[in-house]
């Protein structure tokens, strides 16, 4: 698949990209949710991901501006699986194929390393993410709860931190 953004480059992120990625997260998501929401987003991409998980990750930029990124890795505990931890795309570029490009790259990376399954999660209220993952061939795993028809894994990431858990075969 060809990169759908003109004049952009794709590369493996580095530790030095941390502040640029965090600045992009601040620009891309509403600030009206308060400081705790901004902190929670920043904690989803801590420095360790740009130190230890860069090989399975990609950063798309143009003229030094982050346009999108994917943080992913091969599971150390589940030898058939890859995991997409976090993906962000500039809202001005959404629905143009950039997230699909990053996911397809990751699927290829996983296949090249003998993986047959990819997993990802999202928040129950993120209908756009749910629709995107479903369109990309992921299946939401059954959950004990539901939200607006989406199956939810209660307390997935701790008390009150419910998630929708996705799985996709890439074999």
CATH architecture of 9-169: 3-Layer(aba) Sandwich (3.40)
d(CA 95, CA 7): 18
Which residue, chain included where needed, has tokens 């997260």?
25
What confidence tens digit (pLDDT) does each residue in 65-103 have? 999 999 999 999 999 999 999 999 999 999 999 999 999
Which residues of the chain fall short of a pLDDT of 50?
none
What's the pLDDT score for residue 33? 56
DSSP H helices, the chain, are: 18-28, 35-44, 47-52, 98-112, 127-135
Strand order in the sheet with 164-169: 9-11, 58-62, 65-74, 81-89, 117-122, 164-169, 139-140
d(CA 85, CA 148): 23
Sequence spans of domains, the chain: 9-169
d(CA 68, CA 93): 9
First to last CA, the chain: 18
pTM of the model: 0.94
Percent of the residues in the chain that have a pLDDT greater than 90, as a whole number: 88
What's the pLDDT score for residue 30? 67
CA dihedral 98, 101, 103, 104 (to 10 degrees): 170
CA 84 to chain centre: 5
What's the pLDDT score for residue 137? 98
d(CA 118, CA 166): 8
């Amino acid at each position: 698949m060809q990169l759908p953004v003109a004049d952009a480059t794709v590369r493996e992120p580095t530790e030095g990209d941390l502040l640029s990625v965090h600045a992009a997260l601040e620009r891309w998501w509403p600030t009206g949710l308060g400081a705790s929401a901004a902190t929670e987003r920043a904690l989803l991409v801590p420095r360790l991901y740009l130190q230890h998980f860069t090989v399975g990750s990609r950063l798309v930029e143009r003229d030094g501006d982050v346009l999108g990124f994917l943080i992913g890795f091969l599971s150390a505990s589940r030898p058939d699986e890859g995991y997409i931890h976090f993906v962000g795309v500039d809202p001005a570029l959404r629905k143009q194929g950039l997230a699909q490009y990053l996911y397809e790259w990751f699927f290829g990376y996983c296949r090249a390393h003998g993986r047959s399954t990819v997993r990802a999660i999202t928040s129950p209220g993120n209908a756009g993410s749910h629709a995107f993952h479903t369109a990309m061939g992921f299946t939401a795993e059954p959950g004990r709860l539901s939200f607006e028809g989406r199956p939810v894994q209660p307390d997935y990431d701790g008390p009150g931190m419910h998630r929708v858990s996705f799985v996709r075969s890439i074999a």
